[in-house]
Structure formats: structure tokens, C-alpha cells
Copies of this chain bind each other. A is one copy, B any other.
């Protein structure tokens, strides 16, 4: 089955988005890059400061409410429909719920060729990159580094600790069919 969706899952500052942009550059055909950041930007501003929406704890922990989950469910259906309509999609995700998050995408993507990719980075290195970016809530990188991979199954995993985004992208692109 032709690969139509590449799901990149990894913690904050693990390097997913950089890999995704390199994938867009090296893959044949044109792929869209959509992810949890796109979804959050599309939500009402009020969702980002309420129990219904997204909460950022002082230690970098992230919680999402029922309002977020409802919009997210429709979003996932829509991204799956884009793939069925013929677009290639790189999904840049943070599975805060681990295996349960993956299950939500798996249900929506039935019948679509998906490549599941784990993006890892040592917690200390990701925390340094979080500081270097300067616009992220401190602590998110360390808090999410392992948590987002719990119980998730992958077709392949890459590690940005000692490997550039472009190298990771080439390894992933070689697995696209």
C-alpha cells in the first residue's frame, strides 16, 4: 500500500519539525506538513487558557481537556480524508497519551498507507535545544522525552541526539513506498 501518511511522534524539542521540513524537501511529490501545532493555532485563543483546552504546568507538563479532545477528533478525521483524497501528509505529533494517542490516529487512518516513526532525543540534549529555541515552556522537553513513546509501536525510529535532521529525513524517506 502506497505510503500516504508519515506520522512523526516525539517529545517537544526532539527535532520532529526539522525532520518534517527536510522530508518535504527530499521526498518525490509534494507533501503537506500538519501537526499538533497547526491544530493548536487553529483553536480559539480561549482554549489555551481554560480547563476545556490546553494547560501548561509550571514544570513543563501539558494537560488537555475534553473540548480539546473533541476538536482533535474532527481534525484527525479531516487529515485522514486529505490523505484519502490523494495528498501526502507528514503528521508532526506529540502523543501525550502514548499508545492511546496512537490508537486514535490508527482508527481514523484505516485503509491508508502509514509509516509510523518514533523521533527520540536524549532528555538532556532536548532540554538544551529547548533553551536554544527560547520560545518554549522550560521543562517540556525533559518531561515529554520518554512519556510520549510509552506503548507506541513504530515502523522505524530515529534519534536526533547525534544525527542531523536531514540525515534522519533520508533514512525515513528510504522507507516510503
Which residues of A come within 8 Å of B, CB atoms? Answer: 15, 17-19, 21-22, 24-25, 30-34, 38-39, 41-47, 52, 67, 70-71, 73-75, 77-87, 125, 128-129, 131-135, 138, 164-167
Contacts and interface: CB of A to CB of B under 8 A. Distances in A.
Nearest to A134: B21
A68 B39 CA distance: 21
Contacts of A44: 24-25, 30-31, 33
Interface of A is mostly: helix
Given A78-B85, A132-B165, A30 B43 contact: yes
A82 B87 contact: no
A128 B22 CA distance: 8
Contact of A79 (B19, B78, B131): B78
Given A21-B132, A34-B42, A132-B165, 8 more contacts: A18-B133, A25-B131, A30-B43, A45-B134, A73-B86, A78-B78, A78-B81, A128-B165
Question: Which of A18, A47, A81, A84 lies at the interface centre, i.e. has the most chain B CB atoms within 10 A of its CB?
Answer: A81
Nearest to A26: B131
A4 B101 CA distance: 26
A87 B71 CA distance: 6
A131 B166 contact: yes
